[in-house]
Amino acid sequence: MNPEKRYEFLSRLREENPTPRTELKYNSTFELLISVILSAQATDVSVNKATAKLYPVANTPEAIYKLGERKLKTYIKTIGLYNSKAKNIIKTCKALVEEHDSVVPNTRAELEALPGVGRKTANVVLNTAFGEPTMAVDTHIFRISNRTKFAPGKNVLQVEKKLLKVIPDEFMVDAHHWLILHGRYICTARNPRCGACVVYDVCEFKGKKKDLEE
């Protein structure tokens, strides 16, 4: 996809959704961090259901650490990989209390040093909480980038680096949310909704005409 098409692509997504937001529900940077950790290989809907019960009881590093791993599991047991996530969350809360005065750090290195926080999670927090121009490549963004030829790559890191290189600065902060939401609701994995797509004519997905007919 050439620069002109990319600009049009993002301009239309911006026009459709001028102020995109994550669908994870949170009221603090700490809540966002925990929700993003929980969202790995899980839906935002399932995370929100769990945290709706957890956060009224414990929504600070001290409070969740005090809950302990066993009790934390009772709140998040409906989420995939809840055993390992509970263990990492307790360790992360301990690290935040002891090493960061209970404040979520705003640098990639410090975030990735927290248990259960990888590059994608760090990118989400940096972008959503701190407004940094980062790109967290999840399954939706990876699919869209390759399917539309917006920023093709063989793995998530390649796609991330390509996106950071080709997305104009004016779109960079919000592009992460636009692409995720577009992949979640329009450019879906099995049956992309080409007929409802605002960027259909600039997309370079070879199978789109067939999908539209079907």
Closest CA to 199 of 17, 20, 6: 6
Kindly list the catalytic residues: 120, 138
Radius of gyration of the chain (CA): 18
